[in-house]
Amino acid sequence: RFSVVQTAPPDSILGLTEAFNADPNPDKMNLSVGVYKDESGKTPVLKSVKEAEKRLIDSETSKGYLSIDGMVEYREDVRRMVFGDAIAGERVAVLQAPGGTGALRVAADFMRTQLPDLRIWIPTPTWANHPAIFSAAELPTSTYRYLGADRTSLDLPGMLEDLRENAATGDAVLLHGCCHNPTGIDPSEDDWKQIAKVIADKQLLPLIDFAYQGFGDGLEQDAVGLRTVLEQVDEAIVCTSFSKNFGLYSERVGAISLVAADAGECEAARSQLKRIVRTNYSNPPRHGGAIVATILADESLTALWKEELEAMRTRITALRESFVQTMESTGKGYDFSFLLRQKGMFSFSGLTPMQVDELKSRHSIYIVGSGRINVAGMSESRMQTLCDAVASVMS
Ligand code: PMP
């Protein structure tokens, strides 16, 4: 019977990595995948994580199931990190989830089953898995304008107009909390206020994907947009991922946080979220969440983790600066200074699909077809080589 099954199209980014791995050129560079890399090209285990894991191995006494919504301490950690003091705890239901992706799928199932007739508005462009997850959950999607015509800035008027004129009252809107993937373009604080106002006027439900807290301007600063929205509305869903900021990619650690108008509505929503989890993966994996909770329960481990997070963030900023300067120093008038205004691991470089192709075939430099660059994949020692190659395909 499997003869009826058609081969699914390959994942475009993972396909590039396969091509990269097969490339014999010793000078090849992979700027396509979405993981942080250090100067030597490795994705390290943070020291704070290693230490927490040692403690966990010694102290763990059982592999019994967690509850459907996960560990209590972890949930409290997520609530504090995301909302600070902005929202009363009784209005927030937090569920530990297998990564940001797991959280997004639970959110999508929740909206589809509990809020019929709702459609979700997603930015163009957005992370490719967003429309895929919503489609898998049979949640209708529409798009709003996000990237400006210059491909380096936010089209705020277009975004506001689409949400104001085209979205129906009560629809949902997907927002990237910070470090927009794939463009690196975030709203300013003032932009967030205007976005929040439209959301409030149209009674839209914000679904905030928060996968890069701490990679933009810092842990607290990166939450400003989300908290600005929450000043104007009393309902929201936030999907957290700790894959990037704790470097816990393979441990699948994230959370879904639902903010309700009052404690009663919050409890009803929590019960439905738990039902969705029960029929998807039953309960979340323990290890990743336990690592986060162990780090955040210990002052010195927390300080070490914050230092390590800050080091990742500042390395990315330094690479942005170095790339811009090195391109400028080629003397051909290449101005990439817009990269300095973009946040997080990714940026839209403005390179065309043809230039991206040429970088791959002539220089073994791998970039996603849209021109999205993983800045963290650059290295200081090979910056000149990279910029020479970029300059050569642009000339
Ligand atoms: N949202 C965005 C915008 C992302 O870039 C990612 C990771 N690439 C995720 C969610 C999901 O992260 P996780 O690996 O924790 O599922």
**Pick from 239, 128, 130, 129: nearest CA to 178:** 239
- pLDDT (0 to 100) of residue 33: 83
Q: Identify the CATH assignment for 65-296 out of 3.30.470.30, 3.30.930.10, 3.40.640.10, 1.20.1600.10.
A: 3.40.640.10
Q: For the chain, which residues make up each domain, given as ranges?
A: 9-44+306-394, 65-296
In angstroms, the Cα distances linking 69 to 1, 311, 389 are 38, 32, 49
Q: Which residues pair with 236 in a beta bridge?
A: 259
Task: ipTM value, please give it.
Answer: 0.99
- Substitution candidate for ligand 1 out of 243, 250, 253, 343 with most atoms within 8 A of CB: 243
Q: What's the mean pLDDT when you consider all of the chain?
A: 95
Cα–Cα distance for residue pair 86/88, rounded to 1 Å? 7
Least confident piece of the model among 235-244, 246-255, 325-334, 339-348: 325-334
Residue 37 CA, ligand 1 centroid: distance in Å = 16
C-alpha to C-alpha distance for 123 and 144, rounded to whole angstroms: 5
pLDDT bracket for residue 15 (50, 70, 90): confident
Name the active-site residue from 121, 127, 192, 305.
127
Query: Does the N-terminal peptide bond of residue 123 adopt cis geometry, omega within 30 degrees of 0?
Result: no
Indicate the pTM of the whole model: 0.96
29 and 40 Cβ atoms separated by less than 8 Å: no
The single residue listed with the structure tokens 């089953």 is 113
Summarised one tens digit per residue, pLDDT across range 287-301 is 999 999 999 999 999
Residue whose Cα lies nearest atom 12 of ligand 1: it is 100
| Whole-number percent of the chain with pLDDT over 70 | 100
Residue 332 clears pLDDT 90, i.e. is over it: no
Question: Which ligand 1 atom is at minimum distance from the Cα of 243?
Answer: 15
Catalytic residue (choose from 209, 222, 343, 360): 209
Write the pLDDT tens digit of every residue in 161-176.
Answer: 999 999 999 999 999 9
User: Residue 318: which residues within 8 A CB-CB, separation 6 or more?
Assistant: 380
Asked whether the predicted pLDDT for residue 12 surpasses 80, the reply is no
Distance CA 343, CA 17 (A): 24
Q: How confident is the model at residue 103 (pLDDT cuts 50, 70, 90)?
A: very high
The CATH superfamily label for domain 9-44+306-394 reads: Aspartate Aminotransferase, domain 1 (3.90.1150.10)
Nearest in space to 247 (alpha carbons), one of 93, 111, 43: 43
HSE toward the beta carbon, residue 198, CA cutoff 13 A: 20
